[in-house]
Chain A
């Protein structure tokens, strides 16, 4: 199975800050990496697919990069509504696997 390791597991930042989350795959997954946002009590929402493609309707302050085993998710200017847990997920191979999540809080 492909293991996905996210860091950090939690993060506290101020409104307007640039926030970066990393995700490392245990083997090469090419570009097959998605990022999801999950707010408390809600279903996950797709933000980024194929490592760097912004899902329709998602604000441009969200971005993703990387390929192979190392990936980065960035919020360019943190907004109060971005408080959530963020997950990476690989779909290069079965079983589909998620990172453990990064809980983002406002400082």
Chain B
């Protein structure tokens, strides 16, 4: 059974840092792009980052570019999101999502999400 399990969320002060992890199982992890998508409380979905299957290419929207870094360890079947310079507007549930073999594709499996709260 395919599973994505996020961890690492919590309460952090503005300007602080946090690293999220997403452990994958049930599929050949190294063959697929992986992404992070977030959802602020009561709001819609916002794409945060994507990394290609090899890890050789990463992409971000302007809202997090320069502050967030996505990475992956294909030997551990895990994708990470390093978040620096956190702001109140980064408060959200962060979902890990499996993509396709190419950079641009649908998100066909999602984790349960991990809550990040940025507050003083």
Contacts and interface: CB of A to CB of B under 8 A. Distances in A.
Interface string A64-80: 00000000000000000
Interface residues of B, number: 21
Nearest to A34: B106
Interface string A91-105: 111111111110000
Given A34-B107, A44-B95, A91-B105, A101 B44 contact: yes
Contacts, number: 57
A46 interface: yes
A101 B109 CA distance: 19
Interface in B90-117: 95, 104-113
Nearest to B111: A43
Contact residue range for chain A? 20 to 34
A44 B110 contact: yes
A43 B107 CA distance: 11
A95 B61 CA distance: 6
B95 A43 contact: yes
B79 to A, nearest CB: 15
- Top 3 closest A-B pairs, CB basis? A43-B110, A96-B47, A49-B106
Interface of B: 35, 37, 44-47, 50, 59, 61-62, 95, 104-113
